[in-house]
A and B are shown apart, each in its own frame.
Chain A
Amino acid sequence: MHDMTACQRGHTLNRQELAADERREKRQILGLSLPAAAIILVLLVIPVGWLFALSFVSNGEIGLANYTRMVEYSAYLSIFSTTILVSLFVTVLCIVLGYPVAYLLGQLPPRLATIGLAFVIVPFWTSILVRTYAWLVILQRQGIVNDALIGIGLIDEPLRLAHNLTGTIIGMTHVMLPFLVLPLYATVRNIDGDLMRAANNMGASPARAFRDVFLPLSMPGLIAGSLLVFILCLGFYVTPQILGGGRVIMVSMKIQQNVQTYFDWGAGSALGVVLLLIVFAIFYLVHRLAGLDRIFAR
């Protein structure tokens, strides 16, 4: 009986004080997140809103002229299709080249994996401009590749590797590869090796076990990485500008032209808005197909 009354009294003991502590803690957490919210407002929401507003201004008039132009002139259509096709191609190339790398890194013992990962990350620390010009040196008519191929007598005429689509795709793939490898590696690293062994044990050949177990479990990382690469490609400027040699016109280059050459902020903004809408559409599609929360929550 004595124990019972002690328990009952406990229900009211310190009740107000503990509730106050709880409220204070919530206020503190809210206070800590305010600076971040403010930065996002000033640096993202306002500029994007401004961009959006600008896209409806053309020659001092408010209207849809910037958008209707995109539909009327076929040049815009080809710019958008080039951008999307190049981005798609680079993404696929990154998957083909990056998956084996991430797979290998995932199988290595942690120490070796860290070294391997360093090779993936180091190029990150070099400016994209420097890397792109390096590719120019390697791929141009009298570049290392052509000299070598002519030297061993494999070809007579130098191959056209730079200042065109080939060069653009090679350069972009190189820049984008880490964006695919890193998220994929993070996912692959966490796949329990026993799962593959279990599949083997039940009678799955290594290839079958890969298809039935490893590949599906690596999907979240693969989708996250591919999405990252594709979306970054859509807005890529430096590399296609330098290695494309004017033969590959991407949306970003058209925006630059509108703003820098014609001082037409409205036209540039409209292109930016459409690009953003395409990105949103892709996110929505992936979400419907695979569930974004599942991909990014891991």
Chain B
Amino acid sequence: MACSITIRDVRKTYGQFVALDSVGLDIAPGEFLTLLGPSGSGKTTLLMILAGFIRPEAGSITVDGDEILRKPPHLRNIGMVFQNYALFPHMSVGENVGYPLKLRKVGAAERYERAREALKLVQLDHLMDRRINQLSGGQRQRVALARAIVFEPQILLMDEPLSALDKKLREQMQIELKHLHDRLGMTTVYVTHDQREALTMSDRVAVMNHGHILQVAPPRQIYERPCDRFVADFVGESNFLPVEMRGGAAVFGGIPLQLAEGQAAGAGGKALLVRPEKLDILSAAPAPEHNPIDGTVEELVYQGETMLIYVTLPGGETIALRRGTRQQALSEMPQVGEPIRLGLHRDDTVLIDEAAHA
């Protein structure tokens, strides 16, 4: 029932600005794919091209093998949730949700029933007669979602649908959207600049920058094995430590690093990617599988569930690590100015090419 989407060599420029530079992407039937990137990366442009609101200069987009690029938006049968919801203020909640069915000439009684069903999915079937301006932000978001799925499109597009909600509601909606997708199984393309949201919801994430797709992979791979420095930097928190290459070994601070399997040192400039939560504080006894990193505690920042510790290394770099704030951990926390020995487990080492996308 769900469709596959194949995007080939889609290009769009605005004058000198290249919004999309020959982008290609395959999306599997029923997949939840997120386009993740900073503003201006081309993610929204690609979504708008899928919806038919922007005409690219060249390229091809097929849905189950049928070319859709030259179809006008109203014939594409693709559901979409807009960033600001785009609910019709002159219609009630029920009329909004029923509108796509009205366009498909569904009779009033069936329309009402199906609109109610769709609203039930988002737990708002009791608000059918409300005006849009009587709804809260979270409720509007749900109505927009119900309206986008009520006509059972095989593809659902979402353009930063949660960005206007506060943090708690956003996290709750992320889970709800994910469950809804699991239940309905439509191919979903989701646009966001929030890396955590992308990791939470997606089957695969496509990281975009400057009109290019840099990496397409499942969330874990995007976070644990980013393909380049931009992806590593954009997704999650990261420290980059310069490493030297000596005789096939990666050397940091004069010590050869133990690397994870598959992390070849290779040639060219490399940096070691260190995520703050992957660092351990080593006790006196050296752990054989840890790469030791010595430094001095510079600053402690208490952030509630975690504590951020900034450590200055002998080479002058500052790296951050995170620790949980259980009482025991807090009591063992080093003080500012004290020397500290950090450990990076062999399996957590990730080498990144320095040159690319600098």
Contact = CB atoms under 8 A, between A and B. Distances in A.
Interface of A: 192, 194-195, 197-206, 208-209, 212-213, 216-217
A113 to B, nearest CB: 20
Nearest to B73: A200
Contacts of B70: none
B33 interface: no
Contacts of B104: 203
Given A213-B88, A217-B90, A201 B99 contact: no
A209 B72 CA distance: 13
B107 interface: no
A212 B90 CA distance: 10
Interface stretch (B77-85, B166-174, B256-264, B341-349): B77-85
A107 to B, nearest CB: 14
Interface string B23-56: 0000000000000000000000000000111000
A192 B53 contact: no
Given A201-B79, A203-B100, A192 B73 contact: no
Contact of B86 (A198, A203, A212, A217): A198
B80 A201 contact: yes
Contacts of B73: 197, 200-201
Given A202-B147, A217-B90, 8 more contacts: A192-B84, A192-B86, A195-B86, A197-B51, A200-B73, A201-B78, A204-B103, A212-B99
A59 B42 CA distance: 81
Shortest 5 CB-CB contacts between residues of A and residues of B:
A198-B86, A202-B100, A194-B86, A203-B103, A200-B73
A200 B75 CA distance: 8
A202 B103 contact: yes
A194 to B, nearest CB: 4
Contacts, number: 61
Given A194-B82, A208-B103, A212-B99, A201 B88 contact: no
Contacts of B223: none
Given A195-B88, A216-B90, A203 B74 contact: yes
A202 B151 contact: yes
B15 interface: no
20 contacts: A192-B84, A194-B82, A195-B86, A197-B51, A197-B82, A198-B86, A198-B87, A199-B88, A199-B99, A200-B52, A200-B72, A201-B52, A201-B79, A202-B79, A203-B100, A204-B103, A206-B74, A208-B74, A212-B99, A217-B89
B111 to A, nearest CB: 13
Contacts of A213: 88, 90
Given A195-B88, A217-B90, A203 B82 contact: no
Say what secondary structure dominates the interface of chain A.
helix
Interface footprint category on B: 20 to 34
Say what secondary structure dominates the interface of chain B.
loop
Nearest to A197: B53
B75, B79, B99, most chain A CB atoms within 10 A: B99
Contacts of A209: 74
A93 B347 CA distance: 77
A197 B48 CA distance: 10
A200 B74 contact: yes
A205 B74 contact: yes
B37 to A, nearest CB: 21
Contacts of A194: 82-84, 86
B319 to A, nearest CB: 41
B74 A201 contact: yes
B286 to A, nearest CB: 50
Contacts of B86: 192, 194-195, 197-198
A198 B80 contact: yes
Contacts of B151: 202-203
A195 B89 CA distance: 9
A168 to B, nearest CB: 37
A103 to B, nearest CB: 17
A194, A213, A216, most chain B CB atoms within 10 A: A194
A195 B132 CA distance: 13
B120 to A, nearest CB: 19
B51 A202 contact: no
A201 B103 contact: no
B91 to A, nearest CB: 9
A200, A206, A209, most chain B CB atoms within 10 A: A200
Contacts of A217: 89-90
Nearest to B102: A212
Contacts of A199: 88, 99
Interface string B235-254: 00000000000000000000
Contacts of B89: 217
A204 B90 contact: no
Contacts of B76: 201
Contacts of B84: 192, 194
A212 B87 CA distance: 13
B51, B79, B88, most chain A CB atoms within 10 A: B88
A198 B82 contact: yes
A216 B95 CA distance: 14
B55 to A, nearest CB: 14
